[in-house]
Each structure stands twice: as structure tokens, then as C-alpha cells.
Amino acid sequence: MEPVYHAPGTLDEVLALLAIGRGEARILAGGQTLVPLLFRVEDEPHTLIDLRRIVPLRAIDATATQVALGAMVTLQAAELALRTSLPQVAAALRCVGTAPIRARATVGGTAALADPWAELVTCLHALDAELVLVAEGRERRVRAIDFFHGIRRTARQPDELLRQVVLPLPVPGERHAYHEFTVRESGGKARALAFARRRDGRTTLTLAGERLMPLRVDGTISAAQAALRHEDPSARALLLRVAGQALAMLDEETDPCA
Ligand SMILES: Cc1cc2nc3c(=O)[nH]c(=O)nc-3n(C[C@H](O)[C@H](O)[C@H](O)COP(=O)(O)OP(=O)(O)OC[C@H]3O[C@@H](n4cnc5c(N)ncnc54)[C@H](O)[C@@H]3O)c2cc1C
């Protein structure tokens, strides 16, 4: 049965619809993943709540210490907004899909989906970003490490809307490097992502892959090897390769998309 479609004009109306939806309502953001799922009848919600009229969700607010991206900010707009303040996050976002996908897919949809190979998800983990969730009468901020529970599983409750992601800006001397590598084969693709961060003299590496949710370890190859010991050998080899690249790039500026 076709879902009942709503395009509310205010955030309060969105939250009211989610509250009465009892888990059977879906939020429609950029539609890049949800629309094909609906078309193939792989998801059959009774209600669709389109966010396109909720203008405040498109806001990008920066202070001296953080930048908050509204859930409906497209990956393209986020990439442009972060070029100066978080250039390696911007570089990671340039690796997403193709330009038409980046022009439609949103920050909120990408984080809510929690695909392990999503560039944004890796960046949020690596930077200790926070996700702001709202429901009728309540709001909470959840650290990325607590938000992403596993492949396509998050801490979001069915009546909650992901309103914003908040990224901390680098402190003086902080350095970042992002590298990813995708191997396309006839049977599918393998992808490995690595984000290296040096802050206050400590280096960390965040690694993710086709079937590996982001994992943060100390910034050495031996720490990465130990953390990846249960991965299958070809995935581990690819992850160690991007880890090495990201660590080497910490002091360079190079193109992260291979
Ligand atoms: C061909 C193709 C290639 C792609 N390649 C990549 C890639 O390389 N890297 C990458 O990261 N992504 C890739 N994507 C995925 C894409 O970039 C988006 O991440 C994804 O489609 C979700 O964003 P969206 O705004 O389209 O969300 P939608 O499809 O509208 O929604 C996705 C899910 O999130 C939920 N949702 C949306 N917004 C919110 C919110 N604010 N609060 C709570 N729940 C919400 C929806 O209910 C739905 O369950 C690709 C997609 C396609 C079609």
C-alpha cells in the first residue's frame, strides 16, 4: 500500500507526525536511498514525512570551536562549507558517489543510515562529533561513538529526528588526513577508509570498510594490525594500506580519493 505522504512546514509538525507514527513513519530527506527502497517495496512505511520544507534544517552554523550542519544540508553544501575549516572532511565528502548524488544526499540521511563505508560516518567518528536528536518535548546530544551501534543500526529512537551534526574545529597545531581506496571487481566492490588525526601530540586512526563500522585505534600500524586481526585477509590488507597512506599524509596535502 502506498504510504501517506506529508510535507510539513514546521519542525513541530514533523515531530508530532513521528510521535504518532509509532515506528511506521519514515523521514524522507534527499531520497537517494529511501526512494529506491520504497520503489522496490523493500520498505513499506505507512507514513512518509518529507523534510524539504523545513528550512532551519538547512542551516550551517559556525563558531570559533565548532560547526553545526543541519540535517538537510546536502553533502555538496557541507563540502563547500568545510573546505577552509575542515579541509580533510571536505575532501572525504568529495569522494561520495557522483556530483548528482552529493547534490541531493543529506547529512542527516547519511548519518541516520549508518552505512559503514559512508565517508561522513567515518569523519564523525574520527572527530568525536556529536549528533543532536529531537523528539516531542525532548532533545539529546549523542557522541558519534555512542550513536553508531553497527551496520545500519543507530541510537536513534523511532520518534526522534536527527536535527544536526556538530563537528569540533581543530585546535592550533591539530592535523588531519583522509584516504580511501575502492577496488571494483565483477563480484562487487571492496572499500577501505582511513582518517588520521593528530591532536595535542596524540595520533589516532579511524578505519572503516565495506563491512566494518568505524573503529578508532592509536595512530600506529601495529595498533591497526591488532584491531583488525579478525577481519578477512583481503579486507585487512586494504585497510592497512589506507591506514599507512593516511598516516603518511598527515604532514602532506594530497588527493585522498584513490
Ligand atoms: C548510486 C549511489 C552511490 C552512493 N555512493 C555513496 C558513497 O560513495 N558514499 C556515501 O557515503 N554514500 C553514498 N551513497 C548514499 C548517499 O550519499 C546518501 O548517504 C544516502 O542516500 C542517504 O541520504 P539521503 O539524504 O538521500 O537520505 P534518504 O534516502 O532520504 O533517507 C535515508 C534514511 O535515513 C532516514 N533519515 C533521513 N533523514 C533523517 C533525519 N534527519 N533524521 C532521522 N532519520 C533520517 C530515512 O528515513 C531513511 O531511512 C550513494 C547513493 C547512491 C544512490
CATH number for the domain that contains residue 19: 3.30.43.10
Task: Find the CATH number of the domain harbouring 79.
Answer: 3.30.465.10
Question: Which is the closest atom of ligand 1 to the Cα of 101?
Answer: 17
Phi-psi region of 173 (alpha: psi -120 to 50; beta: other; left: phi over 0): left
Residue 105 belongs to some domain of the structure: yes
Distance 68 CA to ligand 1 centre (A): 19
Question: Which is the closest atom of ligand 1 to the Cα of 43?
Answer: 49
Q: How many domains is the chain built from?
A: 3
pLDDT of residue 256: 52
Residue 255 belongs to some domain of the structure: no
Q: Are residues 8 and 90 in the same domain?
A: no
Distance 229 CA to ligand 1 centre (A): 30
Domain end: 168, 184, 201, which one? 168
Q: Are residues 186 and 201 in the same domain?
A: yes
* Ligand 1, residues at Cβ distance < 6 Å: 26-34, 71, 96-97, 101, 105-106, 108-110, 112-113, 118-120, 156, 161-162
pLDDT of residue 251: 78
Residue 93 belongs to some domain of the structure: yes
Q: Are residues 36 and 77 in the same domain?
A: no
For 215-233, b/e burial (b = at least 16 CB within 10 A) is bbbebeeebbeebbeebee
Burial of 42 (0-12, 13-18, 19+ CB in 10 A): exposed
CB 105 within 8 A of CB 32: yes
Q: Is the pLDDT of residue 44 over 90?
A: no
Distance 31 CA to ligand 1 centre (A): 7
Q: Are residues 158 and 66 in the same domain?
A: yes
Of the listed ranges 10-14, 41-45, 231-235, the least confidently predicted one is: 41-45
Question: Which is the closest atom of ligand 1 to the Cα of 121?
Answer: 11
Q: Are residues 109 and 184 in the same domain?
A: no
pLDDT digits (tens, 9 = 90+) for 156-209: 999 999 999 999 999 999 999 999 998 877 667 789 999 999 999 999 999 999
pLDDT of residue 166: 98
What average pLDDT score do residues 199-228 get? 96
Which range of residues forms the domain containing residue 190? 176-249
Mutate to test the pocket of ligand 1, among 32, 39, 47, 125 (most ligand atoms within 8 A of CB): 32
Residue 84 belongs to some domain of the structure: yes
pLDDT of residue 205: 98
* pTM of the model as a whole: 0.95
Q: Are residues 192 and 237 in the same domain?
A: yes
Distance 244 CA to ligand 1 centre (A): 29
Of all protein residues, the one whose alpha carbon is nearest to atom 4 of ligand 1 is: 97
Q: Rounded distance, CA 46 to CA 92, Å?
A: 35
> What are the Cα distances from residue 229, in Å, to 63, 160, 233?
40, 36, 9
> What are the Cα distances from residue 109, in Å, to 10, 165, 176, 201, 253?
18, 11, 25, 34, 29
CB 194 within 8 A of CB 246: yes
Radius of gyration of the chain from its Cα atoms, rounded to whole angstroms: 18
